[in-house]
Structure 1
Amino acid sequence: MRSILMTFFILMEILLSCSTGFCQSKFSFSATLAPFYAHNKTTVQLPVDSGFDPNPGGVWTSKSSSKGYWVGLNGRYSFSKKWSASTGLWFSQSRSKNSNSSSRSHNFAIPVMVNFQTSERKLSPYFSAGALWNFASTSRITTKDFGTLIFKFGKGDISRLLPTVGAGVIYHFAPHFSLIGQPTFGYAIPPSGIDSHTYQPGFNMQLMFKL
């Protein structure tokens, strides 16, 4: 995680120190706030001798839903007047609760997105596609029978990718400032060998400053 953060800050420093004329036409920075809703369904085939067979056929199914938000900073590079690519560092916080348990999770992610706006008008459609790489997370799960359990994922664990698409608008309300609003949809790629499906609809809001 430390090496990833170092790389991120070095890239940001390079962008901030580039020549004024070049930056004005190519680079911009933004702050992101993105509330989301996530739903997960996981199915596990239990071993015959596991001693735990609540359902016929040794299949255990879990369903859960959570609400949360992303916050983060982004850097964007424009290849042309319509096409751009962006990356950054995001942090999320989410909570879920049912009759038997409750959980609270947070994680860090690096988004890598390709963006397209149809025109340079004051208000223009704005589309994005890419993925979030979740590289460090912590979950606290509290149940009636076992109390609180803590799960941490970081260096050495299987990274989790969340391919995401968004479609909305960009509004240029000042010479150097813009607002972006996009409904988004993400689907998490599960680790190998696990039958898990996680969907994450949300709404991405950005305040962008163009150099």
Structure 2
Amino acid sequence: MKTLTCLLLIASVNTAFGQHKFALSIQLAPICTHTNLKAIFPFADPATQSPNTEFSAVSNGLSYLVGVTARYAFSPKLSVGTGIWATHSATGKTNYVQNGFASSIRYKYNHPFTNLYKIPLIINYQSSTKRLSPYFSAGATFDLRGTSYVDLSGNGELIPIKVGKAVVITPLLGVGMTYNLSDHISLIVQPTIQYNIDSHPSYSYYHYYQLSLQNQLMYKF
């Protein structure tokens, strides 16, 4: 009788966990971006009589992200997730120096189709199965090249352009908390950082990172 009771208990636990192997979440995140770069181009600058043009820039911007992520749980603590995220730039400022002459540009992204898309592949780990638990994530996003709309002629006409590689892989790390609102619904709040490790041989240096606060509402089934 004791053996039968233990088997029934194990079966019920496995069944309950089996119902929660899959999860779907929607998420929203504000993003702060930072870029710092320098390049020397073999073009003469008539203003300074220099045979080369030295250009450096520091940019800071604010974006937001909306996305959908599907998750598969290997165990109550370990899972893997993927989905599609869309980011949209809101505002930004660039301070640049060209051969000793400094200037700055402030800009807003008002065009509705300037979204950039990311495909995440992330491993998640929560340290306990309690209602409130630390939540860790590590992985990368596959950043798809987007279209920018730029007023090249100065007459207000926006021209679509594409710059850079078709896909850029950007590592991601996140540390936050997960809270179970019910047996099926969880809320995850997680600060994350992404850093661009792609090579930029035409620059003397190139640093780009983004900080975000991921907010996920997850349904487990």
Structure showing greater radius of gyration is 2
TM-score for both structures, normalised by structure 1: 0.78
2:102 is the counterpart of 1:100: no
Name the residue aligned to 1:167.
Answer: 175
CA, structure 1 residues 201+114, in 2 after alignment: closer, same or farther (shift >3 Å)? same
Equivalent position SS for 2:19: helix
Over 3 Å counting, the alpha-carbon distance change for 1:58 and 1:81 in structure 2 is: same
Q: 1:28 aligns with which of 16, 23, 27?
A: 23
Q: RMSD between aligned alpha carbons?
A: 2.9
Corresponding position of 1:151 = 161
Counterparts of 1:7-46 in structure 2, within 5 Å, are 24-46=19-41
Q: Distance in 1 between matches of 2:57 and 2:155?
A: 17
Structure 2: distance between partners of 1:59 and 1:27:
52
1:173 aligned partner, one-letter code: L
State the match for 1:134 in structure 2: 143
The alignment of Structure 1 onto Structure 2 pairs a total of residues equal to: 190
Q: Judge which range, 120-129 or 185-194, deviates more.
A: 185-194
Q: Structure 1 residue 63: deviation in Å?
A: 1.6
Gap regions ≥5 residues in structure 1:
1-19
CA distance in 1, matches of 2:121, 2:132: 24
CA, structure 1 residues 129+68, in 2 after alignment: closer, same or farther (shift >3 Å)? Answer: same
Q: Does 1:82 align with 2:77?
A: yes
Task: Return the TM-score normalized by structure 2.
Answer: 0.74
Partners of 2:18 and 2:50 in 1: how far apart? 60
Q: How many Å apart are 1:207 and its aligned residue?
A: 0.3
Counterparts of 2:129 and 2:19 in 1: how far apart (Å)? 15
Structure 2 residue aligned with 1:189, among 185, 194, 197?
Answer: 197
